């Protein structure tokens, strides 16, 4: 039994790495299985179904990005925390996870499971991590949820727009404006 659990764990990690490289939209078990050195039947054996594997991969991807957010040290101000968050979002580990989240959320918006439930769980954990950083950086806890939703919506929008607006120079200005807004929210 221990070997089965170890194999399941190794497959889950490999599947997560594969999805981070190739995306979750349109994921097919056969190419995934071939890429990680197993068969689609063995994936179903270990995870029960494609949906169960997809949900686990999304959860692991989100856990990686949340861990990166939680590793950000408290900043000297709410303004500095927003800048630190944006810098972290640019790092490959988080950026790859956010691309998987974007695909998950899009499929979830269409009502597809397990994407809808996975996106909801991801949102809760992500918002908590952003709120925690903001509180540790001087945002009063009673305002942290409001500030974290503003930060998340804005930074995620910027992340989605960046590839579409190559060479755009407004991103830095928007991040500074967002940082100023969060600073104001923390003093209201």
Count: domains in the chain: 1
Does 153 score more than 70 pLDDT? Answer: yes
- Under 8 Å CB-to-CB from 46, ≥6 apart: which residues? 4, 7, 8, 11
Overall average pLDDT of the 34-61 stretch: 96
Q: Alpha helix locations (H) across 50-166?
A: 50-70, 78-90, 92-109, 115-136, 141-161
Q: Is the pTM of this model over 0.85?
A: yes
Q: Is the pLDDT of residue 120 over 60?
A: yes
Mean pLDDT of the chain: 93
CATH number at residue 25: 1.10.357.10
Quick one: average pLDDT of 18-45? 96
The percentage of residues in the chain with a pLDDT greater than 70, rounded to a whole number, is 95
Mean pLDDT of 133-152: 96
Range of the domain at 23: 2-187
pLDDT at 1: 52
pLDDT above 80: residue 20:
yes
How high is the pLDDT of residue 172?
A: 87
**Cα–Cα distance, 60 to 117 (Å, whole number):** 14
> Binning pLDDT at 50, 70 and 90, where does residue 16 land?
very high
**Tens of pLDDT, residues 64-85:** 999 999 999 999 999 999 999 9
What pLDDT sits at residue 152?
93
Whole-number CA gyration radius for the chain: 18
């Amino acid at each position: 039994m221990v070997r089965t659990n170890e194999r399941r764990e190794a497959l889950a990690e490999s599947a997560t790495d594969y999805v981070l490289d190739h995306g979750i939209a349109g994921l097919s078990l056969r190419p995934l299985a071939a890429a990680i050195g197993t068969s689609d039947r063995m994936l179903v054996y270990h995870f029960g179904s494609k949906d169960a594997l997809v949900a686990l991969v999304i959860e692991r991807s989100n856990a990686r990005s949340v861990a990166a957010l939680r590793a950000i040290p408290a900043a000297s101000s709410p303004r500095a925390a927003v800048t630190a968050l944006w810098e972290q979002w640019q790092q490959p580990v988080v950026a790859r996870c956010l691309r998987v989240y974007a695909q998950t959320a899009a499929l979830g918006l269409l009502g597809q499971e397990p994407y809808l439930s996975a996106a909801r769980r991801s949102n809760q954990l992500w918002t908590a991590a952003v709120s925690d950083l903001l509180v540790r950086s001087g945002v009063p806890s009673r305002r942290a949820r409001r500030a974290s939703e503003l930060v998340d919506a804005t930074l995620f929008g910027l992340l989605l727009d960046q590839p579409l607006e190559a060479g755009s120079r407004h991103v830095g200005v928007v991040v500074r404006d967002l940082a100023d807004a969060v600073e104001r929210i923390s003093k209201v």
